[in-house]
Amino acid sequence: MRRRLLSRLALVACAASLPVTLLATAPASADGPRTSHSPAYKSVGYFTQWGVYGRDFQVADLETSGAASRLTHINYAFGNVSSDGKCFTGNIPGEADAWADYVRPLDAENSVDRVADTDTQPLAGNFNQLRELKAENPGLKVMISLGGWSWSTHFSDAARTAASRKAFVASCLDLYIKGNLPVDGARGGQGAAAGLFDGVDLDWEWPGSAGDTDTVYRPEDKQNFTALVREFRRQLDAYATTQKKGKHYELSAFVPTAPAKIDAGFEVPRIMRDLDFVNLQGYDFHVSGEATTNQQSALYAKNDFSVDQTVDAWLHRGAPARKLVVGMPFYGQGWTGVTGGGDGLNQPAAAPAPATWQAGYEDYEALKKLADSGTYTVHRDRRNGHAWLFDGTTLWTYDDPQVLKTKTAYIRHHRLGGAMFWSLDGDTPDGELIRAVDTGLTQR
C-alpha cells in the first residue's frame, strides 16, 4: 500500500495551499457539468425523498443556493426492495412514497424552472424537478440510491441466487433507468421518467453483517454482493448500447468504515472492477446513543474509527484511490446531561440531545445558529481534524467549513475520488458547506 507522505500536522497547515491533482477521474465530456470545481473530483450529494415535507427542502433549493452548480452527482435516497426481491414504488407508509417521487404537483415558486406543474403531465414531484435541474446544469448526473439503513431489509434475499439477482436488477432498470413508472392518476406510465437517472447507487447496509433490526444478512452475502454488482454492471452496459453513442450508466456503492464489516461483506478488488466509485462512510463513527461523548467524523483518531482509517482500510484491501469518495456529514451527533467538566469530549452523558427532527441528530443549519448564539463554545482538535460545540451540559460533534477545508486538502493530497455529503438538506440556505468543499477541491 502506498503510504502517506504528509504528517497530519503538515496536512492541516497546508490545507489552503496544496495544488489540485487532476488525476482522480476521467476528463469530463465536452458538454460537461456547469460547475465551478475541477471535473477531476466527484461532488456527490444525497437528496432525501422525505426532506420535502418537514424540512421543506425542495429540489429547487439546490438551484437557488448554488449547490447544483457545485455538484457532479445527486443520489436520490432511497429506492426500496420488496419482499419478493424487486425494486418497487407506490404510496405505502414507511415503504414507498410515489407522491413525493413523481405525483405531487409543484407550484411555480417551488419549481426549478419557475413554471407550475399541470394536472396532466405524466411526471411531477421530485423526479420532474430533478429533470428540470439537469436541464439547468448540463452534465449533472442523478443516481437512484437503493436501500439505506431502513430499506436494506430484503437485499440479501434479492441477491441470493443468479435468477433472483437477474430479476432484481431488471426490475430496478425498468423502474428507474427506463422510467416505466406505475400509473397514478395522470402520472406515470411507460417511459415517464426515461432519461432521468444516470446510474445506480447501492446502499446495502450491510452485506454479511448486521444493519437495521429487521435487515436479513448471511455469510454468503459477501460473494453474492460481488455477483450483484456484476449483474448491475452487465445489465446497465447492455442497456447503454441501446442509447445514444457513448452513454455510460454509472454504478456506485455506499460502503462502511469498520474493517470487520468490510471483510464480512466486500470482495474489494473484484467489486471495484465493476463500480465506478464507492462512497466511504465518513461519519457516525460514534453516535448519540452511546453513553460517552465522542467524535463522529474525525479526519484522524488514534485507535479509533476515522476518515484516514477508512481510506487506509479500503486502499489496503485493493481499492484504487481515484475511486474512493469521502463521505462528509451535513449534520451533527449530540449528547445532553454531559458530566465531567472540561471541554465535554469523552465524558459521560445522560441521553441524546434534544433536536429539531430526531433526538441526538441535528442539521448543520441549526448547529451553525447554536455556534453563533454565544451560548455554546466551539472547540477544535486541529491535529485530528474535527470540531464540537459544548455549553457545559450539551455537546454536538459536527463538521463546519474549517473542518471541511482540511478534509478537502486530504482528498487532493491523496488523489482520492472526491467528496460525498449526507445530506443536502442539512446545509444552510446559501449552501455554506457545499461552497466550502467546492473551494477546497479547487484550491491551487
pLDDT of residue 93: 97
Considering the domain boundaries, does residue 378 fall inside one? no
Query: 352 by DSSP, 3-state: which?
Result: strand
Considering the domain boundaries, does residue 269 fall inside one? yes
Residue 169 and residue 229: Cα distance in Å, rounded? 9
Give the pLDDT mean for 419-442.
97
CATH of the domain at 38: 3.20.20.80
What tens digit of pLDDT does each residue of 167-219 get? 999 999 999 999 999 999 999 999 999 999 999 999 999 999 999 999 999 99
pLDDT of residue 443: 79
> At CA 69, angle to CA 63 and CA 70, rounded to 5?
120
Phi/psi for 233 (5° steps) reads: -65, -45
Instruction: Let me know: does 220 contact 272? Beta carbons within 8 Å.
Output: no
39 has pLDDT over 70? no
Q: Return the C-alpha cell found at 105.
A: 404537483
Considering the domain boundaries, does residue 105 fall inside one? yes
Strand partners, 328: 421
Q: How far is CA 239 from the centre of its chain?
A: 25
pLDDT of residue 324: 98
pLDDT of residue 11: 42
Considering the domain boundaries, does residue 351 fall inside one? no
Phi/psi for 268 (5° steps) reads: -55, -55
Considering the domain boundaries, does residue 349 fall inside one? no
Considering the domain boundaries, does residue 367 fall inside one? no
Residue 250 and residue 87: Cα distance in Å, rounded? 18
pLDDT of residue 25: 32
User: What total number of domains does the chain contain?
Assistant: 1
Q: Is the pLDDT higher at 24 or at 139?
A: 139
Q: Is the pLDDT higher at 94 or at 28?
A: 94
Considering the domain boundaries, does residue 91 fall inside one? yes
pLDDT of residue 40: 86
Q: Report, as residue numbers or ranges, the catalytic residues.
A: 205
Considering the domain boundaries, does residue 94 fall inside one? yes
What tens digit of pLDDT does each residue of 410-420 get? 999 999 999 99
What tens digit of pLDDT does each residue of 308-361 get? 999 999 999 999 999 999 999 999 999 999 999 999 999 999 999 999 999 999
Q: Which has the closest alpha carbon to 145: 280, 253, 284, 256?
A: 253
Residue 256 and residue 237: Cα distance in Å, rounded? 26
13 has pLDDT over 80? no
Side chain identity at 91, as an amino acid letter?
A: N
Q: Which has the closest alpha carbon to 297: 312, 281, 311, 313?
A: 281
Exposed, middle or buried, 248 (CB in 10 Å: 0-12/13-18/19+)?
middle
Exposed, middle or buried, 21 (CB in 10 Å: 0-12/13-18/19+)?
middle
| Domain containing residue 78 | 8-332+399-441
